[in-house]
Amino acid sequence: MTDRRVVAHVLRRLTFGPTAAEVDAAARDGLPATVDRILAPAPTVTPPSFPTPDRKDRQAVQDQVSDGLAWWLGQMVIHGGSAAEKLTFFWHGHFATSVQKVRSAGLMLNQQKTFRRYGPGPTGPFVRAMLRDPALIIWLDGQKNTRKAPNENLAREVMELFTLGVGHYTEDDVKAAARVLTGWQVDRAAGTSRLDPRRHATGPVTLLGRTGPLDVDGFADLLTRHAAHVPFLAGRVWLRYGGDTPMPDSLTAAGNDVPAMLRALALDPAFPQTAGHLVKQPIEWVVGAVRQLGIDPAKGRKQLLAGLRGLGQLPLRPPSVGGWPAGEAWLTTAAAQARLRTGQALTALAPAAVQHLASSVPQERLEALAAMLAVDGWTDRTAAVLTPAAKDPRRLLAIGLATPEYTVQ
Amino acid sequence: MDAITRRRFLVASGVAAGGLIAAGGAAYGLTDIFATAGDRDPAARTLVLVTLYGGNDGLNTLIPYADPAYTKARPALAYDAGHVLRLDDAFGLNPAMTGLHQLYQDGRLAVVRGVGYPKPDRSHFRSMDIWQTGRPDHPETTGWLGRWLDASGGDPRLAVSFEPVLPPLLAGAHSAGATVPGGEVKLPATVTTAQLTALGKVDPAEPAARQRAATCFADLTRIQDLMADVAAAGGTDADDEPAATATGGATQPLEQQLALVARCVEAGAATRVYSVSLGGFDLHADEKAAQESQLTKLDKPLAAFAGRMSRTEAGRNVVVAVYSEFGRRVTANASDGTDHGTASSMFLLGAGVKGGMYGDPPSLTDLDQGDLKYTTDFRDVYATLLGDVLGADPARILNGWTGGLTSSPLTRR
């Protein structure tokens, strides 16, 4: 595989996009410098703040959620060339909290601040912060978990889905963890959480083989230092960044730090062989296209949201605490239709991209399209469809976005 | 005339499947012929599988109202004898389930009690995985109905879901059911069937996921045909039109999904399996009113669907099966909800169902870590559905499972 193909592959997996210019720059700089650049710490991002609406005013809540989502999509487009921006979405899918129950754009974006602040570092401080996160507490009934009335929801999911995975804890551990997490209350207006001592159960617990008194931070540390934690986390990272092929050992060797895992993965000599094995999540497909086609996300807000909804992945609304599916679940007849429709809608928003394709002679347009979409090349099958379409650059671009080569990266 | 319509025509005119090629079948792919062969047997049954996501509280659905242990375990959540919809001296249905109560009295609702599997898993995802793959003992990447689809030739029209994302139960090793949100195929006017057919060609040198992406286009042309057939045959009930789009991740309301199923069944579609779903059953807190509201969303559409199906011959061949990934703990938690549990009841309904109670009710006092011990393995129910509804060999689909319900709730054919 040529160096250009290797860096293009790394950019496709670690960032949203990439644009032809980003691939050119990476090919010039080489792999190590490119990896350093895309993994460099991102500047601090301040999400918009929203006044606390009356929760019964569904329309006001909904309007804030739409504005918050539009803001986020804008961030993905502007900063999509950095690994940090895609990583923020990774953490959203990992801690899969839905605004449908939280009912507050402010609390959802507050949670995102935590993703941006702690997500690019070791998981110890991150899990400590997440166990206090108001949106997560509401989402998993944490404020209903009290000394007198334990509720296991948060305790179970934090072990099963966020840190250890099924099989590494017992039902007794779930009960003990629920007890440790009792008493947390959320102040919606202030966007904060606090421990109410009257609702909190004290006294020793036996949890994950250790007996004694335990507070929330001690619990977080127990999880992130557990032998099952790093392999579990590496598996989740591989699912979203690697694909359905076996995971290289370099991921777990990187420890409990996801950017370190991403670096290891990008530099692993076996990584280029995974090209063509990872189905793009709808968010990757839409945001990548918006960046590559030079679309203004504010102007295309309606079309972007319609596309994401049709493909089944609206950010802020994961289907359950298990997050979105991965892999071939996104390859359905319904999704094929949605890609054809959305491809056309995106093309209509991208006159400059159409013009760029039109500036080549028709025989060279397939190559120009591949460069624009950062696709390594077209199979004979796809070329047979694109070649007759090439005389109309609009049609060429719209169908190019729906091809298997662009859908599976 | 597409392959299915053609097949229907040929069967009606007495031309056997073997004569299809001689009769001009060269215009159709071999897979079309395999896929449609036998599918238009008008006596063939159809399965509608209803998945309730979130873990429905089985004890407040089929209520053991006469058992003192029931009230004792969940005083604030329990229904008393005067409020349940009585089925017999021991059990009643949740008051929200008036439609299913009527079906039970009409002898068209079978209740299988205590359905579960060994070493129950209390994780939603793992347990739903077990139910959808049909394998409690081993991680499995194919769904139980996906394997049935593989064994039946793999035509995606045979197994249809109206959700935007493929439910794992319809994913086979070589094929996958079709997803048709809203029940219609909407393509940009500039996209031609010829383009879809060309994009649907698989390049054997490509990675499997890319091949699958290509196959979706080929599948799409078939679905386009199927839905065109349905539209040509139906269009009688404008009120059933689905919303324009399904909201992200979630499915459209059950009644809209079932209305689409009804239209396909009445149009004589080749489809043998429909997957529909309803979410929102994970009620850790303030459960009672919320579950009644959820059960209303289940009961009303199901009863309406059963009524509609009883009016046509094709509809009378439809069997509906309802399940959730687990029931909930016997004892309520102190937020007036229940935490994740184990065994629960399954419901089967339709004209071909012999109503009544099946399976032994689990004890409310002899528990496993506070949860019910299952009395019927869910694979026994699957085996009955595969054998008596889909005419398949259950052992082949269920990794050698040879069990079955001792007394089938389905009438003999």
Q: What is the pLDDT of residues B197-252, one digit of tens each?
A: 999 999 999 999 999 999 999 888 887 777 777 766 654 443 333 332 222 223 57
Tell me whether residue A116 is in a domain. Answer: no
d(CA A10, CA A7): 5
Tell me whether residue B405 is in a domain. Answer: no
**What is the total count of domains within chain B?**
2
Q: Kindly state whether residues B10 and B75 are assigned to the same domain.
A: no
Q: Annotate A78-112 with DSSP letters as a single string.
A: HHTTSHHHHHHHHHHHHS---HHHH--HHHHHHHH
Q: Is A101 on the interface with B (CB under 8 A)?
A: no
Q: What number of other Cβ atoms are within 10 A of residue B172's Cβ?
A: 22
**What's the pLDDT tens digit per position in B335-351?**
889 999 999 999 999 99
Residue-averaged pLDDT of chain A: 95
Q: Is B247 on the interface with A (CB under 8 A)?
A: yes
β B46-52/B344-349 pair status:
unpaired
Q: B 393-412 residues with CB below 8 A of A?
A: none
d(CA B342, CA A204): 29
Q: Kindly state whether residues B67 and B95 are assigned to the same domain.
A: yes
Average pLDDT, integer, range B353-363? 97
Q: B 274-293 residues with CB below 8 A of A?
A: 279, 284-285
| Interchain CB distance below 8 Å, A332 and B179 | yes
> What is the reported pLDDT for A52?
85
Which of these three, A224, A244, A266, is where a domain ends? A224
Q: Kindly state whether residues B147 and B275 are assigned to the same domain.
A: yes
Q: Kindly state whether residues A137 and A220 are assigned to the same domain.
A: yes
d(CA A142, CA A103): 16
Q: Kindly state whether residues B178 and B319 are assigned to the same domain.
A: yes
| Interchain CB distance below 8 Å, A341 and B212 | no
> What is the reported pLDDT for A53?
82
**What is the total count of domains within chain A?**
2
Tell me whether residue B201 is in a domain. Answer: yes
Rounded to the nearest angstrom, the gap between the alpha carbon of residue B79 and the centroid of all alpha carbons in its chain is 29
- Nearest CB to A312; choose among B122, B191, B248: B248
Average pLDDT, integer, range A233-251? 94
- Nearest CB to B210; choose among A146, A317, A404: A404
The residue of chain B with its CA nearest to that of A386 is: B195
Question: Predicted confidence band at B157 (pLDDT cuts at 50, 70, 90)?
Answer: confident
Helix and strand numbers (H, E) in chain B are: 13, 12
> What is the reported pLDDT for B238?
35
Question: What dihedral do alpha carbons A380, A382, A387, A391 form, nearest 10°?
Answer: -170
Mean pLDDT lowest among A293-307, A369-383, B82-96, B237-251:
B237-251
Q: Is B210 on the interface with A (CB under 8 A)?
A: yes
Q: Kindly state whether residues B119 and B29 are assigned to the same domain.
A: no
Does A327 score more than 90 pLDDT?
Answer: no
- How far is the alpha carbon of B106 from chain A, nearest alpha carbon, in Å? 37
Mutate to test the interface with A, among B129, B184, B211, B212 (most CBs of A within 10 A): B212
Q: Kindly state whether residues B115 and B259 are assigned to the same domain.
A: yes
Tell me whether residue A256 is in a domain. Answer: no
Q: Kindly state whether residues B6 and B121 are assigned to the same domain.
A: no
The residue of chain A with its CA nearest to that of B176 is: A332
Please choose, from the candidates B411, B409, B410, the residue with its C-alpha nearest in 3D space to the C-alpha of residue B113: B409
Q: Is A216 on the interface with B (CB under 8 A)?
A: no
Q: Kindly state whether residues A312 and A400 are assigned to the same domain.
A: yes
| Interchain CB distance below 8 Å, A399 and B168 | no
Q: Kindly state whether residues B33 and B179 are assigned to the same domain.
A: no
Does B53 score more than 70 pLDDT?
Answer: yes
Percent of chain A residues past pLDDT 90, beyond the cut: 87
Q: Is A218 on the interface with B (CB under 8 A)?
A: no
Letter string b/e over residues A273-311, b meaning 16 or more CB atoms within 10 A of that residue's CB: ebbbbbbbbbbbbbbbbbbbbebebeebbebbbbbbbbb
* Collapsed DSSP state (helix, strand, coil) of residue B178: strand
Tell me whether residue B313 is in a domain. Answer: yes
Compute the Cα dihedral for A79, A83, A84, A87 and give only its sign. positive
Strands (DSSP E) along B25-120, which ranges? 46-52, 62-63, 85-86, 92-93, 109-116
B238 CB burial (10 A radius; 0-12, 13-18, 19+): exposed
Strand partners, B344: B115
Q: Kindly state whether residues B156 and B27 are assigned to the same domain.
A: no
List of residues 6+ apart from B140 with CB closer than 8 A: B133, B134
Q: Could you tell me if B158 and B219 are in contact, meaning their C-beta atoms sit under 8 angstroms apart?
A: no
Please, what is the angle between helix A31-38 and helix A20-29, to 10°?
A: 120
Q: Kindly state whether residues B33 and B178 are assigned to the same domain.
A: no
Q: What is the DSSP letter of A58?
A: H
Q: Kindly state whether residues B239 and B305 are assigned to the same domain.
A: yes
Contact list, B220 vs chain A (CB under 8 Å): 333, 336-337
Q: Kindly state whether residues B105 and B29 are assigned to the same domain.
A: no
Question: Predicted confidence band at B19 (pLDDT cuts at 50, 70, 90)?
Answer: very low
Q: Is B31 on the interface with A (CB under 8 A)?
A: no
Question: Predicted confidence band at B5 (pLDDT cuts at 50, 70, 90)?
Answer: very low
Q: Is B181 on the interface with A (CB under 8 A)?
A: yes
Tell me whether residue B355 is in a domain. Answer: yes
Does B138 score more than 90 pLDDT?
Answer: no
Which of these three, A224, A243, A262, is where a domain ends? A224
Tell me whether residue B299 is in a domain. Answer: yes
Chains A, B: CB pairs < 8 Å: 190
Average pLDDT, integer, range A166-190? 95
B43 CB burial (10 A radius; 0-12, 13-18, 19+): exposed
CATH number, domain of B263, equals 3.40.720
Does A45 score more than 60 pLDDT?
Answer: yes
- Greater confidence (A244 vs B320) lies with B320
| Whole-prediction pTM | 0.79
Q: Could you tell me if A40 and A15 are in contact, meaning their C-beta atoms sit under 8 angstroms apart?
A: no
What domain range is B21 assigned to? 1-40
Residue-averaged pLDDT of chain B: 83
The residue of chain A with its CA nearest to that of B156 is: A333
Tell me whether residue A316 is in a domain. Answer: yes
Instruction: Give the tokens for residue A133.
Output: 């996160």
Instruction: Give the tokens for residue B377.
Output: 């393995």
Does B285 score more than 90 pLDDT?
Answer: no
The amino acid at residue B50 is V
Strands (DSSP E) along B57-214, which ranges? 62-63, 85-86, 92-93, 109-116, 159-161, 178-179
Does A102 score more than 60 pLDDT?
Answer: yes
ipTM over 0.90: yes
Q: Kindly state whether residues A207 and A316 are assigned to the same domain.
A: no
- Nearest CB to B214; choose among A149, A306, A404: A404
What domain range is A402 assigned to? 282-407
The residue of chain B with its CA nearest to that of A409 is: B210
d(CA A271, CA A274): 6
Tell me whether residue A25 is in a domain. Answer: no
Q: Annotate B322-379 with DSSP letters as a single string.
A: EEES--B-SS--TTSS--B---EEEEEESTTB--EEESPPPPSSS-BTTBPPPSEEHH
Tell me whether residue B111 is in a domain. Answer: yes
